[in-house]
Structure 1
Amino acid sequence: MLKNEPLSTAMAKAVFHIFPAYCKGCGLCKEKCPNEVLVWSEKLGVYGTPTVKPKDEESCIACKICEMVCPDCAIYIEKKKKEKAN
């Protein structure tokens, strides 16, 4: 049984969280990502299908499109706060 814990990846502009217990591997997030950041992962989701993961730490612009199009709310993008210049 899948635990309801996210797999998290720290990136330059955000932290990418995927919840395998919710992901059905539909690929909408992958298809809609403007920078083609997401690739298939070796981790399996709720139906035994692959989940997604970011291919690198720099490509993601933290637009949250993947989060918005996921029909199962399996993705959460946590934007990093900008550091203030002194």
Structure 2
Amino acid sequence: MGTTRNEGEGNKTADRNYRKATKEFVESERGKKEIENAGNVSPSEEQEIRRAEQQAKQRAKDHDPEELSGEEDSSRNSRPAH
């Protein structure tokens, strides 16, 4: 097993490998077919997507006290504007 260097955040080797694999996929026959069919969903899948979106929005609203009360958090008012 070779020694691998930890490149941390912004890992150039991982980025290079990802970009290469992505390019190869996009240029492959399978990739071209997937791209051509991207966004094509059945009516039942469309319904499920809409339902999931509404559930996610409701959960986000339920957990955001600002949105429920209509008031801003007082700690935000004390921060200087940038």
Give TM-score, length-normalised by structure 2: 0.20
The answer to which structure has the higher strand fraction is 1
Give TM-score, length-normalised by structure 1: 0.20
Bigger relative contact order (CA 8 A; separation at least 6): 1
The answer to which structure has the higher helix fraction is 2
